[in-house]
Chain A
Amino acid sequence: MTTHRVKIYAGFERLWHWLQALFIITLMITGFEIHGSYTLFGFETAVRIHTVVAWAFIALIVFAIFWHITTGAWRQYQPKGDRSIVRQARYYAYGIFRGEEHPYRKTELTKLNPLQKATYLGFKILIVPIMVTSGLLYVFYNSWQSGWTGGLAVVAVIHTLGAFALVAFLIVHVYMTTTGETPLSNVEAMITGYEEIEDESEDASVSV
C-alpha cells in the first residue's frame, strides 16, 4: 500500500479552526463563571473577557464566511442526500470495533465524512447563529428590554442551553479526532495541513 502526502487543510482553515477552538474554550470557561457555576476570574473580569473574545469570534466568523464563499469551500458541507450518512454512523457504532476500514476516504475535495458534514453544518447554521444572536441580544439587552421585561431570562436560558450543547460537542469532537488512521493523524493534519492518504489506485473501496 502506497501513500502520498496531501494537503487537506489550507492555512486560513487551520488558523480559523484553532482560533475558533481557543475562543470557544475561553468563552466556555468565562461563560460558565458568568452563569454562576464557579468563581475563577470574578464576575466583572469574566464578563470583560467573554465580551472581548465574543467580538473577536464574530470577526473571525465574518472572515470564515468570506473565505468559504470565495474559495468555494462551503461545498464541503453540502449534504449528499443519500444514505451514506447511515453507513458512516454504522461504522462508528459497530464497524470501528471490528477493525473495519473507514467507509470514506479523505481527499482534498471531500475532507469531511457524511456524518461530519451534517454535524458541522448543524454547528454552522444552527449552534453558532443561535449563540451569536442570543449573545448579541444579551449584550445589548438594555436597548430592547423595556419592550419585554422578561426577555433577558429567555435570551439567557437559550444562550446557556447552547453553551451546554457546545460542551457536549467539544467532548465528542475531541474524542473523534482519535478515530483517524492513527489516533493522532487527524490532529496532525489540522496542525500541518497535510495527511498521508492512500493512493487512489489501491483504494480498497468500501466494504460493509
Chain B
Amino acid sequence: MTWRYLSANRILIVVALAVTALLVVAGGALGDTEILAQEDESASTAETSEPTADHSKFEILQQDFATGPDLTRACLSCHTEAAKQVQQTTHWTWDNHFGEGIGKTTQINNFCIGVQSNEPRCTSCHTGYGWKDNTYDFTIEENVDCVACHDTTGTYKKFPTAAGHPAYEPQDFGGKTWNPPDLSMIAQNVGATSNATCGSCHFNGGGGAGVKHGDLNPDLLTASKEVDVHMSLDGAAMECSDCHEGNNHQINGSSVYMRPSDEGGVDLPHDDGNRATCQSCHGDHPMASPKLNEHTDKVACQTCHIPRLARGTSYTKTWWDWSTAGRFTEDGKEITTKDENGNVSYTTKKGDFVWERDFAPDYVWFNGIVNVTVAGDPVVLNEDGAMELNAYAGSYDDEHSRIYPVKTFRGIQPIDAGNNTVALPHLFGKDDKAYWKNFDWNLALEAGMAVAGEPYAGNSGVPYSGEVGWMETVFYEPATHMVAPSGDALECDSCHSRDGVLASLGGFYMPGRDGGAYDWLLWGLVALTLIVVIVHATLRIVGAKRRSS
C-alpha cells in the first residue's frame, strides 16, 4: 500500500467502521450479568459464639412450674426489664397504629373476621397468657410469655383455645392429644429466637400451615434454595431475626407498617428503624444492569424476585365463603369435605374454602399505607362489587409508591344489613351465642358487635340492627418472603408485553404493553402505501407493454 491510497475518504470509512464495531461490542457486554450485591456476605449469622450464661445452672429455673406465668416470674427475677420492653411491642399490644387502637385487635379481615369476642382462640398466638376477653390487663408483667419466642427445645406449644396458655394437663384438640410441655426443662434451655419459634405463629397464621400467607409457611424450615434463597439451608441459611432485627424486643418489619420503598439504602452503619427491607442489606441499586436498577424507583424488589406464591409443599387459602357455613348431614352431623389435594374444602363451622399452591401474585401500587377496616365501618364496595378490607394506598405519581406483589384473599362474610356496616361475629366460645356452638348468625353478630370497637377495654360495642347480610370482600397479604434465586425472577417480558402480569395495572405508560391502541390505523396507512406502490408498478408494466406492442 502506498500513501496515495490513504485519502481522507478512506480514513473516514475505516474510522467509522472501527467506532461502530466498538460500540456494538461494548453495548453487547452491557447487562450480561445479573448478580445480587453482597452475595458473598449473606452467610448465616447463626450463633458462632457461646452464650455467657447456662440457664440450666440457675437454681430458680430448677423447679416444676405449674403455669406459664410462674415461669415468667422466674425469668423476670433476673431479666427485670424484659416484660416492660415486650409490653411496648406490637407482639404484645396487637395495636399496629400505635395509640390509635387499630391493629390485629380491632381490625376486620376475611379469615376468622375479628379477634374481639373470640379471644381465647385467637390469642393462642399472643405473646402472653390469659387474654380471654376485653377485660384483659395489658400491664401484668408475669403474663408475658417469654418461652413462646425463646424456647430452643421445640417442645413448647401454646394450646389452641387456652388464651395463650400451654396445656397444663393432657387435652384433646383437632383430633390429637396435647400433652403439657416440661416448663422446667424448657426454662433451663432458653436461648435466642429461631425460625421455629417465630414460625410457630407466623407460619401458621389463620390457624394452620400456610393458611393465611402465601409466602410464610412451615416449608421455610426445610426450604430448598428455589423456595427461599435467604432461609434455605443450602442457600444463605438465614434466620428470621437476621432481617427482622430487634432492639429492646422491638422487632423491625410489620405487615401493617410496610416499606415498599426504602431510599435509605443499606442500613449499616446507620439504622433507620427498619432493617427488614430488602434495601437494608442490598441497597437500592443492587443489580449489574443499569436499566434494571432504574426500575427500583417504581418497582419493589419483591415484584420480580417473588414470581410466584406458595412455591413449596404448603397450600394457602385464597377463598373463604362464610355464607355456606351451617349445613349438616341428614342426621344432624357436621360436614367436612376435602378437595382433590387433601385440603379441607368445606366445614359446617366455616363454609367453603379454595386452596392454591404455586400461583402468581396480584400487583398493586403501594406506598406502605394500609387503610384498615373495623367493625361498624360502612360497607363500601369497589368496582368489582367487593369491599377491600385493607385497601393498599399508592399510585404511579406517588414517589413512595412501588408496584408490589400481594396475595389477594377473597371471600364472603356477614354484614349488618340494616345499618349496611361491617360486622364482627362471635364465633368461638362455650356460650349460647357463639356461631360455632349454635350456628345462628344473628346471635353471633349481636354478641360480637356488643364488644367490638374501640377503645378496646370498656367499650360499649358497635350498633347492630339485627339483620344479617353478606358481602364479598378482599384482603391483601403482602408478598415479601420466599425470594427466588435471581435466575427465577420475572423476565422483562413478564411485564413488558401486551398481556403480561401487569396488564391491568393502570396509571402509567409501559413499553411493550401500551401504545398499541391506534396500531390498526397506522398499519392501515402502511398498507395503503404498499397498495399505492403496487398499483403504480402495475400501471408502469401495463404502460410498457402497450408501448412495445
Residues of B within 8 A of A51 (CB): 27, 30
Among B28, B397, B530, B544, point to the contact of A149 (Cβ < 8 A).
B397
* Contact, CB under 8 Å: B23 / A55: yes
Taking a contact as CB atoms under 8 Å apart, the answer to whether B12 and A52 are in contact is no
Chain B interface helix/strand/loop/mixed = helix
B51 at the interface (CB under 8 A from A): no
Contacts of B539 in A (CB 8 A): 97
Q: Is the CB of B519 within 8 A of A37?
A: yes
If the complex has contacts A36-B497, A56-B23, A168-B525, are A63 and B31 also in contact, measured as CB distance less than 8 A? no
Nearest opposing residue in chain A for B494, CB measure: A43
Min CB–CB distance B402 → chain A (angstroms): 14
The answer on a CB contact under 8 Å between B515 and A35 is yes
Q: Is the CB of A60 within 8 A of B16?
A: yes
A-chain residues with CB within 8 Å of residue B522 when the two chains form the complex: 160-161, 164
Contact at B27–A52, with CB atoms within 8 Å?
A: yes
Nearest residue (CB) in A for B399 is A146
Question: Contacts A19-B20, A153-B514 hold; do A142 and B537 have CB atoms under 8 A apart?
Answer: no
Cα–Cα distance between A161 and B523 once the two chains are bound (Å): 11
Partner-contacting stretch, out of A115-123, A129-137, A171-179: A171-179
Chain A hits for B23, CB < 8 A: 52, 55-56, 59
Find the B residue at minimum CB distance from A58.
B23
CB of A35 within 8 A of CB of B31, answer no
| Distance between Cα atoms of A48 and B511 in the complex (Å) | 14
**Smallest CB separation, A130 vs chain B (Å):** 16
CB of B24 within 8 A of chain A? yes
CB pair B27 A43 closer than 8 Å: no
A127 within 8 A of B: no
Chain A interface residue count, Cβ-Cβ cutoff 8 angstroms:
50
Q: Please determine whether A156 and B27 come into contact, CB atoms closer than 8 angstroms.
A: no
On whether the beta carbons of A97 and B516 are closer than 8 Å, the reply is no
- In the complex, chain B residues whose CB is within 8 Å of the CB of A34: 496, 511-512
Asked whether A178 lies within 8 Å of B537 as measured between CB atoms, the reply is yes
Across the interface, which residues of B come within 8 angstroms of A60, CB to CB? 16, 20
* B19 at the binding interface (Cβ < 8 Å): yes
A104 touches B (CB below 8 Å): no
Complex-state Cα separation, A205 to B399, whole angstroms: 69
What chain B residues lie within 8 Å of A63 (beta carbons)? 12, 15-16, 19
Docked complex Cα distance between A70 and B508 (Å): 46
Do the beta carbons of B529 and A171 come within 8 Å of each other? yes
- Among B17, B493, B523, which residue has its beta carbon within 8 angstroms of that of A44? B493
Distance between Cα atoms of A107 and B19 in the complex (Å):
32
B274-315 vs A, Cβ < 8 Å mask (1 yes, 0 no): 000000000000000001001001000000000000000000
Q: Which of A120-164 contact B (CB under 8 A)?
A: 142, 146, 149-150, 152-153, 156-157, 160-161, 164
Complex Cα spacing A106 to B540, Å: 21
Tell me which residues across on chain A come within 8 A of B15, comparing CB atoms. 63
Min CB distance, A173 to chain B, in Å? 10
What's the least CB distance linking A153 to chain B, in Å? Answer: 4
Residues in B neighbouring A99, C-beta threshold 8 A: 543-544, 547
Q: B398 to nearest A CB, angstroms?
A: 10
Tell which of A10-18, A82-90, A184-192, A196-204 binds the partner. A10-18
Q: Could you tell me the distance in whole angstroms from the C-beta of A51 to the nearest C-beta in chain B?
A: 6
Interface centre among B496, B516, B547 (most CB of A within 10 A): B496
Check B381 for interface membership: any CB of A closer than 8 A. Answer: no
For B12, list chain A residues within 8 Å (CB).
12, 63, 66-67
Contacts of A80 in B (CB 8 A): none
Would you call A112 an interface residue if the criterion is a C-beta within 8 Å of the partner chain's C-beta atoms?
no
Q: Are B28's CB and A153's CB within 8 A?
A: no
Asked whether any CB of chain B lies closer than 8 Å to the CB of A25, the reply is: no
What bracket does the count of chain B residues touching chain A fall in?
Answer: 35 or more
Answer whether A156 and B492 are a contact pair too, CB < 8 Å, given A55-B27, A67-B12, A167-B526.
Answer: no
Chain A contacts of B533 at CB under 8 A? 171-172, 175
A108, chain B: closest CB distance, angstroms: 15
Cα A14 to Cα B403 with chains together (Å): 49
Which residues of the other chain, A, contact B139 by a CB distance below 8 angstroms?
A: none
B394 vs chain A, min Cβ distance (A)? 14
Give min CB distance, A88 to chain B, whole Å: 15
**Could you tell me if A43 and B493 are in contact, using CB atoms closer than 8 angstroms?**
yes
* A6 at interface by CB-CB < 8 Å: no
* A20-70 with Cβ < 8 A to chain B: 34-37, 39, 42-44, 47-48, 51-53, 55-56, 59-60, 63, 66-67, 70
Q: Are B13 and A12 in contact (CB under 8 A)?
A: yes
* A149 cross-chain contacts in B, Cβ below 8 A: 396-397, 508
Q: Chain B 156-195 against A: per-residue CB contact (8 Å), 1 yes, 0 no?
A: 0000000000000000000000000000000000000000
Complex CA gap A15/B512 in Å reads 33
A181 CB, nearest partner CB in chain B, Å: 13
Q: Which residue of B lies closest to A54 (CB)?
A: B27
Check B540–A97 contact: CB distance below 8 A: yes
Q: How far is the CB of B58 from chain A (nearest CB, A)?
A: 59
With an 8 A cutoff between CB atoms, is B341 at the interface? no
Cα of A66 to Cα of B512 in the assembled complex, Å: 36
Say whether B9 faces chain A, with CB atoms less than 8 Å apart: yes
With A36-B513, A153-B509, A164-B526 as known contacts, state yes or no: A47 contacts B291, CB within 8 Å: yes
Q: How far apart are the CA atoms of A3 and B107 in the complex, in Å?
A: 93
How far, in angstroms, from A67 to B12 measured CA to CA in the complex? Answer: 8
What are some 28 contacts across the A-B interface (CB < 8 A)?
A11-B9, A19-B16, A35-B512, A36-B498, A36-B511, A36-B515, A37-B519, A52-B23, A52-B27, A52-B28, A56-B24, A59-B16, A66-B12, A70-B8, A97-B542, A99-B543, A142-B294, A142-B297, A156-B511, A156-B514, A164-B522, A164-B523, A167-B526, A168-B526, A171-B526, A172-B533, A175-B533, A175-B537
Query: Would you list the 8 A-B pairs with minimal beta carbon distance, nearest first?
Result: A52-B27, A153-B509, A43-B493, A97-B543, A44-B492, A43-B492, A142-B294, A164-B522
Interface residues of A (CB under 8 A from B): 10-12, 15-16, 19, 34-37, 39, 42-44, 47-48, 51-53, 55-56, 59-60, 63, 66-67, 70, 92, 96-99, 142, 146, 149-150, 152-153, 156-157, 160-161, 164, 167-168, 171-172, 175, 178-179
Chain B residues close to A by CB (< 8 Å): 8-10, 12-13, 15-17, 19-20, 23-24, 27-28, 30-31, 291, 294, 297, 396-397, 399, 491-493, 496-498, 508-509, 511-516, 519, 522-523, 525-526, 529-530, 533, 536-537, 539-540, 542-544, 547
